[in-house]
Amino acid sequence: MVNITSDASGSLDWFDPATGETWVYNPGDIAWVLASTALVWIMVPGVGYFYSGLLRRKNALSMIYLSMMTIAVVSFQWFFWGFSLAFSENASLFIGDLKYFALQGVLEQPSIGSTRIPSIVYCVYQLMFAAITPMIAIGGVAERAHLGPLLFFVFAWSTLVYDPIACWTWNTNGWSFVHGSYDFAGGTPVHISSGTAALAISLYLGKRRGYGTHELAYKPHNTSYVILGTCFLWFGWFGFNGGSALSANLRAAQACIVTNLAASVGGITWMLWDWRIEKKWSAVGFCSGAVAGLVAITPASGFVGSPASVLFGVMAGTLCNFATQLKFIFGYDDSLDVFASHAIGGIIGNILTALFAQASVANYDGATVIPGGWLDHHYIQLAWHLADSAAGFSYSFVMTTIILWIMHFIPGLRLRVTEDAEIIGMDETEMGEFAYDYVALDSDKASEYIRTEKPSRTESQEATSA
């Protein structure tokens, strides 16, 4: 039996027989974190719709499918050993143990993240962070990867890349946490790790067919999907950042304010930079800038005031916009600009957090005491954030590359599809299903496919008549 009771105020009381101490959980805090869990969940298909809209029609469904597949795989991985590797109390500086293997003992005891909520609430909330991170990275496979091996990749990447970085960032034993780095909601574990992984994936897979020609100079096939995905992301980010306070308090409210403001300013900034070139008001540009602003404010959302968040939006909307040109300079095919938006955006957020973090803002929850950043004359903070960013970048890139090349030499796990499959599209070759009833197939190879594999209109009419 779980030794949980309710007191006169309606709070939940758990008596720990081992220590003789009673822990009090406020139902409002639990409700806020569980609601935030649902908000972050909707972000995962949001990434899928955002990516889908940016691609060509023949690859539209595959990205939406991958978002749901990622949730399923990571949910099992988190139950199996992911939560334990990231958040067990006996963790080393880099990785946890298997104390909570298969979620054994994860229920009513105080969580490692906050004693205001039980461990099981913290577990399911952190699961959503673990799920969205590999989905962001999967953007690097767009239009040229087998879908089956990605099941294995997501499980392996979550275990070998995400869990260690989450441990050293948020576990009280992690090296970055011990040295006092500020990462409220995932600048390094979520965005730098996933954006860098997307770069590694793009380099491993190589360029798509027609790279550098008019064939890949296409516009997003469904801008409505891009906007819908952005709405899901923006909506869910209130739980992503606000929920990271792990309590319904003023710090959570402040995190929501700066999140919305940075996204708004980032979207406007990116759109204006695009307008200077084409003299068009781009919805895709606004959405890209909003996401960049959301990425940058993520590590800072529980540490900075509202004026600073405006600068976060301007810097992310500007620098991430220009960073999209890196793929042309260095010759890699990051078709969805995941590296520019998430890795660069995460680094920008980490650096600005070190500069503008304030002890007074962190104490909005009435409990957190920190020395602050440069605004509070705590100058060493920047060094720790640079070290944390570099560590996350390097570790994710190297480990992702190792995982990909190990898969390359295992029969059935190689990711790169054939040129024929790439021409026809992942929806047809890998799924046999489409996002729409009509799918445009171009090129001579596609025409040959239609002639050999699909009945003609006349044949279909004859079959119907018969």
The pLDDT confidence band at residue 439, using thresholds 50, 70 and 90, is low
Reported as a single tens digit per residue, the pLDDT across 213-253 is 877 878 899 999 999 999 999 999 999 999 999 999 999 99
Q: Of 359, 362, 363, nearest to 374 (Cα)?
A: 359
Both tokens of residue 417? 């599809």
The angle formed by the CA atoms of residues 285, 396 and 188, to the nearest 5 degrees, is: 60
Mean pLDDT estimate for the chain: 92
| Residue 418: DSSP 8-state | P
Model confidence at 437: pLDDT above 80: no
Question: Mean pLDDT over residues 289-304, rounded?
Answer: 97
Q: Do 263 and 234 meet the contact criterion of CB atoms below 8 Å apart?
A: yes
For residue 447, the model assigns a pLDDT of 47
Q: Smallest Cα–Cα separation from 338: which of 452, 191, 436?
A: 191
Q: What pLDDT, on a 0 to 100 scale, did the predictor assign at position 438?
A: 63
Note the pLDDT of residue 457. 43
Instruction: Identify which of 132, 180, 124 has the alpha carbon closest to the alpha carbon of residue 303.
Output: 180
| Residue/partner pairs of 47-50 with CB below 8 Å, 24 or more apart | 47/132, 47/135, 47/136, 47/139, 47/229, 47/233, 48/135, 48/229, 49/225, 49/226, 49/228, 49/229, 49/232, 50/225, 50/226, 50/229, 50/230, 50/232, 50/233, 50/287, 50/291
- The yes-or-no verdict on residue 205 having pLDDT over 50 is yes
pLDDT band at 4 (very low <50, low <70, confident <90, very high): confident
Q: Looking at residue 9, what is its pLDDT?
A: 86
51 φ/ψ angles, rounded to the nearest 5 degrees: -65, -45
Using H for helix, E for strand and C for coil, what is the string for 37-60? Answer: HHHHHHHHHHHHHHHHHHCCHHHH
Confidence of residue 462 (pLDDT cuts 50, 70, 90): very low
Tokens for 59, please give them.
């690859």
The DSSP string of 195-234 is: HHHHHHHHHHH-PPTTTTSGGG-PPPS-HHHHHHHHHHHH
More confident residue, 174 or 2: 174
Report pLDDT digits (tens) over 89-98.
999 999 999 9
Measured distance CA(224)–CA(287) in Å, rounded: 11
Determine what percent of the chain is predicted with pLDDT higher than 90.
Answer: 85
Helix, strand or coil, per DSSP, at residue 13? strand
Residue 450 clears pLDDT 50, i.e. is over it: no
The token duo for 12 is 């939940």
Average pLDDT over residues 19-44: 95
Sheet with 21-25, strands from edge to edge, namely 4-6, 12-16, 21-25
For residue 446, give the DSSP letter. H
In this predicted structure, the answer to whether residue 456 has a pLDDT above a threshold of 70 is no
What are the pLDDT digits (tens) for 138-177?
999 999 999 999 999 999 999 999 999 999 999 999 999 9
Which whole-number Å values give the CA distances from 158 to 94, 199, 404, in the listed order? 14, 17, 13
**CB-neighbour burial class of residue 90 (10 A; exposed 0-12, middle 13-18, buried 19+):** exposed
> Rg of the chain over CA atoms, in angstroms?
23
Cα–Cα dist 269/248, whole Å: 32
Q: Which of 1.10.3430.10, 3.40.1160.10, 1.10.540.10, 1.10.3720.10 would CATH assign to domain 4-408?
A: 1.10.3430.10
Is 425 in contact with 58 (CB distance < 8 Å)?
Answer: yes
Instruction: Report helix, strand or coil for 96.
Output: coil
Closest to 260 measured CA to CA, from 224, 233, 229: 233
pLDDT at 444 over 50: no
Helix residue ranges per DSSP H, 78-192 = 83-87, 119-137, 149-157, 163-170, 175-178
Is residue 354 scored above 80 in pLDDT? yes
Position 460 scores a pLDDT of 43
- Domain locations in the chain as residue ranges: 4-408
Are 176 and 140 within 8 A, CB to CB? no
The pLDDT value recorded for residue 215 is: 79
Question: Cα–Cα distance between 292 and 300 in angstroms, integer?
Answer: 14
The structure tokens 């998430």 sit at 342
Q: Kind and range of the H or E element at 395? A: helix 381-408
**Structure confidence at residue 20 as a pLDDT band (50, 70, 90):** confident
Which tens digits make up the pLDDT trace of 388-402? 999 999 999 999 999
Average pLDDT over residues 409-418: 95
Considering only 43-47, 54-58, 217-221, which range has the smallest mean pLDDT?
A: 217-221
The pLDDT of 105-118, averaged and rounded, is 93
- HEC profile of 244-305: HHCCCCHHHHHHHHHHHHHHHHHHHHHHHHHHHHHCCCCHHHHHHHHHHHHHHHCCCCCCCC
Q: What type of residue is 207?
A: K
* pTM summary value: 0.92
